[in-house]
C-alpha cells in the first residue's frame, strides 16, 4: 500500500502470544502487543520485567520460543530482512568508545552505515543542532556527562534516518534536565511518523507516550492510551495503576 505523497513510510509491529525463556528465567510469558504505526510507545516496568528481552526480539537479536512478531509497512506485512535497514536499536549499555570524540563517533558510524558524504554532512549538522552538541564535537565520549553521552548514542542511531527506533532505558541515570531534553528530542522524532518504542522503569514516562504497555515478570499488565488507562483504573498516576495491577486489582 502506497503512503500519501510526501509522507515517509510508517511501520507497525504486532507481537502475538510471544514467549521467551532465557536459561531458568521465563523472560516473556505469552505477551501480545500492537505497536501502532507512527506512534511513540512506552514499555514500562521494573528491572526483570522483560523489557530488554522484548526490544531485542523486536530488533531481531532474539527469536521467540512461541508466538510471532510481524512487521507491517503501511498496514501490509513485510519481511524483517526488508525492515532491518530502517531499524535502529539503542541498547541500555551503549557501545561507544571513551577515547573517540563526538565528531569521530559520527564519522565512524558514517563509514559503518556506508552513508554518502553529502547525506552524512546534512544529517550530521542537523543532529548536532537538535542535540545541542555542536560545541562539544572534540570532546571524548568518556568525558561527556550522562545526558550528553545518551544524546551521542541517539545521534549515532539516527544517522541513517531509521523509521523504527528502539530505545532501551535511554534516560536511566541522567539528571532531570537532560531527561527532559531527551524527551523533547523524542517528540520531534515522533512528529516525523517514526515508530518509537521506549523501554523505561520510570512510571511518569508512561504518560509521555502515545501508548503505554506495563509489564511485570514477563507478563503484560495493561496496554493502551495513557489517559484512558488511568481513567479506566480510577488511578491518579501510573505508580498507583502499577501497584493495583501487580496486586491483582481490576483495572476497569
* Extents of the domains making up the chain: 11-246
**Helices then strands (H, E): number in the chain?**
8, 10
**Separation CA 98–CA 94 (nearest Å):** 11
Model confidence, pTM: 0.89
HSE (CB half, 13 Å, CA atoms) of 88?
A: 21
**Separation CA 138–CA 104 (nearest Å):** 8
Query: Do the Cβ atoms of 86 and 13 come closer than 8 Å?
Result: no
Topology classification of domain 11-246: Rossmann fold (3.40.50)
Q: What confidence tens digit (pLDDT) does each residue in 116-135 have?
A: 999 999 999 989 988 889 99
**Summary mean pLDDT of the chain:** 90
**Separation CA 220–CA 249 (nearest Å):** 14
The cell for 6 is 510526501
DSSP 3-state percent helix, strand, coil across the chain (nearest 5): 40, 25, 35
Q: What confidence tens digit (pLDDT) does each residue in 41-58 have?
A: 999 999 999 999 999 999
Question: What phi and psi, each to the nearest 5 degrees, are found at residue 59?
Answer: -85, -5
If you average pLDDT over residues 188-198, what whole number do you get?
89
Q: List Cβ neighbours of 65 (8 Å cut-off, separation of 6 or more).
A: 19, 20, 21
Q: What confidence tens digit (pLDDT) does each residue in 134-184 have?
A: 999 999 999 998 888 988 998 898 898 899 999 999 888 778 888 888 888
Q: Name the DSSP class of 49.
A: S
Amino acid at each position: 500500500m502506497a503512503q500519501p505523497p510526501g509522507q515517509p513510510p510508517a511501520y507497525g509491529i504486532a507481537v502475538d502470544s510471544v514467549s521467551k525463556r532465557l536459561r531458568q528465567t521465563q523472560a516473556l510469558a505469552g505477551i501480545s502487543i500492537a505497536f501502532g504505526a507512527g506512534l511513540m510507545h512506552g514499555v514500562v516496568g521494573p528491572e526483570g520485567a522483560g523489557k530488554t528481552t522484548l526490544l531485542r526480539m523486536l530488533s531481531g537479536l532474539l527469536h521467540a520460543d512461541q508466538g510471532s512478531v510481524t512487521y507491517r509497512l503501511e498496514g501490509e506485512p513485510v519481511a524483517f530482512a526488508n525492515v532491518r535497514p530502517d531499524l535502529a536499536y539503542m541498547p541500555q549499555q551503549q557501545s561507544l568508545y571513551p577515547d573517540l570524540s563526538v565528531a569521530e563517533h559520527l564519522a565512524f558510524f558514517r563509514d559503518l552505515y556506508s552513508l554518502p558524504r553529502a547525506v552524512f554532512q546534512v544529517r550530521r549538522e542537523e543532529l548536532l543542532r537538535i542535540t545541542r552538541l555542536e560545541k562539544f564535537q572534540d570532546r571524548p565520549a568518556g568525558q561527556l556527562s550522562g545526558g550528553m553521552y545518551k544524546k551521542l548514542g541517539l545521534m549515532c542511531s539516527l544517522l541513517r534516518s531509521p523509521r523504527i527506533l528502539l530505545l532501551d532505558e535511554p534516560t536511566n541515570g541522567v539528571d532531570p534536565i537532560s531527561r527532559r531534553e531527551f524527551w523533547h528530542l523524542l517528540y520531534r522524532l515522533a512528529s516525523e511518523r517514526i515508530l518509537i518504542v521506549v523501554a523505561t522503569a520510570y512510571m511518569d514516562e508512561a504518560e509521555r507516550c502515545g501508548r503505554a504497555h506495563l509489564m511485570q515478570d514477563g507478563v503484560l499488565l495493561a496496554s493502551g492510551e495513557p489517559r484512558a488507562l488511568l481513567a479506566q483504573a480510577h488511578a491518579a498516576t501510573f505508580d498507583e495503576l502499577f501497584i493495583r495491577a501487580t496486586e491483582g486489582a481490576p483495572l476497569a
